[in-house]
Amino acid sequence: MEKRETASLLAAGRSSMSPSYSPQSVVLDHGKGMRVWDREGKEYLDFLGGIAVLSLGHAHPAMVSALTDQISKLTHISNIYFSEPQILLQEELVRRTFADRVFFCNSGAEANEAAIKLARRHARIVQRSPKFEIITLEGSFHGRTYGAVSATAQPKYHEGFEPMVPGFSYAKFNDLASVEARWTAHTAAVMVEPVQGEGGVRVASRPFMQGLRRLCDERGALLIVDEVQSGIGRTGRFLATEFYGIEPDIVTLAKGLGGGVPIGATLATESVAAAFTKGSHGTTFGGNPLAARAALTVLETLDREALTENAARVGAYLLGRLRALARQQPRIREVRGLGLMVGVEVNGTADDATALMVKGVQNGLLFNTAGGNTLRFVPPLIATEADVDLAVAVLSALFAMPA
Ligand SMILES: Cc1ncc(COP(=O)(O)O)c(C=O)c1O
């Protein structure tokens, strides 16, 4: 590749990229563990992890060697054949969860698309019922494809794209009465995030999640839990659903599963998965050997390095440090989270939060904003207390700078 000046690269990046994105003015070049470096050699502490994706951090040795080995053997074969990594990954996901069956795809939106289609088809062909509606929650985020964005109960994501896919209704998060009020004779499923990430890091309450399970059981509907962001150890459990003492019917995964290599998964019980009869759903790249090997390596490394336990411990430490900061810093309104999925709501607007994020980049700390005025911290699960101390020190300095 021809060596180009960073300024010229940035200008080319801005002029040719879809205007739906607006990245920061940095060109990242390489990473190691919790840190990344840009082309100019400037170092950043990564508390965003590619938005809750890099479970093992950057360039983890286990990942480098597994992917190097896999890429030299097989990267893609299609679902017309089996590959060993795909079979082993299916087995591992089944072993670790409520699920009996796994459908692989390439992103969170696609995993949710499959969940939505599976819930409708389950009503039709297993329950032999005309039910098709899915209740989702205000503040949710399920992805950008038409089904997933229609499920996303945030009007800003619908603007200009109407008409949305019919059959979704929206209830208030953490408000069971609101879900009951939305229920109709056509309700086939409820879809919920245990921790709303994009919605501003809001944790579902135990009575709410247990109440959803009860309602679905009583009324013959499915409980779909979107763990695209909260899954794979991030909250201190393999699935955040485990905190609530309930078993879902369908769970969707993506982000942290591949540790940076795109993969999504829709997990279901045997009786629900039965609705996906031969040929009813599929995707070319889903579960390809490269992505499956990446995900297997993530799961093996979570176990070997006790990273789920680490996420619980370091996450609690991060929450504690941020709550202590909030007591001294009037610009912080609230600190929320579970494990290494943490939000700091600021007193101010979305612009104020964005300004802090930009200053974070300038001062070598990566995080982003969610739900408007909330700063979101979703670092790799390898983060240590020392990383937290450094991040909180930088954040404290950012708050002390003039707004
Ligand atoms: C809970 C949740 N579901 C679905 C998605 C969509 O995932 P993707 O961007 O991989 O399509 C996201 C992405 O942020 C998410 O946080």
**In this structure, which residue's CA is closest to atom 13 in ligand 1?**
143
pLDDT at 1 over 70: no
User: Cα-Cα-Cα-Cα dihedral of 100, 105, 106, 109, to 10°?
Assistant: -90
In the numeric block, which tokens belong to residue 300?
Answer: 């093996």
Q: Are 121 and 280 in contact (CB under 8 A)?
A: yes
Give the atom of ligand 1 at the shortest distance from the alpha carbon of 109: 11
Question: What backbone phi and psi angles, to 5 degrees, belong to 21?
Answer: -110, 155
Q: Is 238 in the pocket of ligand 1 (CB under 6 A)?
A: no
pLDDT of residue 296: 98
> Which residue intervals of 122-205 are DSSP H helices?
146-151, 176-182
Using DSSP bridges, classify how beta strands 187-192 and 222-226 pair: parallel, antiparallel or unpaired. Answer: parallel
Q: Are 263 and 273 in contact (CB under 8 A)?
A: no
**In this structure, which residue's CA is closest to atom 16 in ligand 1?**
229
Residue that the structure tokens 């003039």 belong to: 402
The amino acid present at 263, given as its one-letter code, is: I
What does the alpha-carbon distance between residue 90 and residue 185 come to, in Å, rounded to a whole number?
35
What does the alpha-carbon distance between residue 259 and residue 62 come to, in Å, rounded to a whole number?
11
What DSSP string describes 193-244?
-SEETTTTSEEPPHHHHHHHHHHHHHHT-EEEEE-TTTTTTTTSSSSGGGGG
Give the atom of ligand 1 at the shortest distance from the alpha carbon of 198: 16
Q: Is 141 in the pocket of ligand 1 (CB under 6 A)?
A: yes
What does the alpha-carbon distance between residue 224 and residue 181 come to, in Å, rounded to a whole number?
19
Q: Is 109 in the pocket of ligand 1 (CB under 6 A)?
A: yes
Closest CA to 265 of 93, 88, 35: 93
Compute the distance from residue 113 Cα to the ligand 1 centre, in Å. Answer: 11
* Mean pLDDT confidence for 8-17: 96
Q: Is 52 in the pocket of ligand 1 (CB under 6 A)?
A: no
What does the alpha-carbon distance between residue 108 and residue 345 come to, in Å, rounded to a whole number?
25
Residue to probe by mutation, ligand 1, list 255, 261, 341, 376, most atoms within 8 Å of CB: 255
Give the atom of ligand 1 at the shortest distance from the alpha carbon of 145: 11
pLDDT of residue 402: 82
Q: Are 378 and 234 in contact (CB under 8 A)?
A: yes
Tell me the average pLDDT of the chain: 97
pLDDT of residue 20: 97
Which are the contacts of 88, defined by CB distance < 8 A and separation ≥ 6?
292, 296
Residue to probe by mutation, ligand 1, list 116, 228, 378, most atoms within 8 Å of CB: 228
Residue to probe by mutation, ligand 1, list 140, 198, 235, 263, most atoms within 8 Å of CB: 198
Q: Are 256 and 55 in contact (CB under 8 A)?
A: yes
Sign of CA dihedral 139, 141, 145, 151: negative
Give the atom of ligand 1 at the shortest distance from the alpha carbon of 262: 10
Compute the distance from residue 120 Cα to the ligand 1 centre, in Å. Answer: 21
Residue that the structure tokens 């109709």 belong to: 184
What does the alpha-carbon distance between residue 254 and residue 110 come to, in Å, rounded to a whole number?
9
Compute the distance from residue 3 Cα to the ligand 1 centre, in Å. Answer: 34
Q: Is 152 in the pocket of ligand 1 (CB under 6 A)?
A: no
Compute the distance from residue 316 Cα to the ligand 1 centre, in Å. Answer: 24
pLDDT, tens digit, 9 for 90 and up, residues 358-378: 999 999 999 999 999 999 999
Residue to probe by mutation, ligand 1, list 106, 142, 202, most atoms within 8 Å of CB: 142
Residue that the structure tokens 């209704």 belong to: 169
Can you list the domains of the chain with their CATH numbers? 6-59+306-400 (3.90.1150.10), 74-304 (3.40.640.10)
pLDDT, tens digit, 9 for 90 and up, residues 113-151: 999 999 999 999 999 999 999 999 999 999 999 999 999
Q: What is the DSSP secondary structure assignment for residue 174, as one 8-state letter?
A: T
Compute the distance from residue 142 Cα to the ligand 1 centre, in Å. Answer: 5
Question: What backbone phi and psi angles, to 5 degrees, belong to 343?
Answer: -125, 145
Question: What backbone phi and psi angles, to 5 degrees, belong to 204?
Answer: -70, 145
pLDDT, tens digit, 9 for 90 and up, residues 311-349: 999 999 999 999 999 999 999 999 999 999 999 999 999
What does the alpha-carbon distance between residue 100 and residue 123 come to, in Å, rounded to a whole number?
19
Rounded to 10°, the helix 385-400/350-362 angle is: 120
Q: Is 345 in the pocket of ligand 1 (CB under 6 A)?
A: no
| C-alpha pair distances (Å), 248 with each of 6, 100, 101, 161, 269 | 48, 12, 13, 31, 9
What does the alpha-carbon distance between residue 180 and residue 115 come to, in Å, rounded to a whole number?
21
Compute the distance from residue 38 Cα to the ligand 1 centre, in Å. Answer: 26
**Which residues participate in catalysis according to the annotation?**
141, 226, 255
What does the alpha-carbon distance between residue 43 and residue 365 come to, in Å, rounded to a whole number?
9
Give the atom of ligand 1 at the shortest distance from the alpha carbon of 230: 1
pLDDT-based confidence at residue 403 (cuts at 50, 70, 90): confident
pLDDT-based confidence at residue 210 (cuts at 50, 70, 90): very high
In the numeric block, which tokens belong to residue 41?
Answer: 């050699």
Q: Are 293 and 372 in contact (CB under 8 A)?
A: no
Compute the distance from residue 12 Cα to the ligand 1 centre, in Å. Answer: 28
pLDDT-based confidence at residue 259 (cuts at 50, 70, 90): very high
* Mean pLDDT confidence for 374-396: 98
Compute the distance from residue 229 Cα to the ligand 1 centre, in Å. Answer: 7
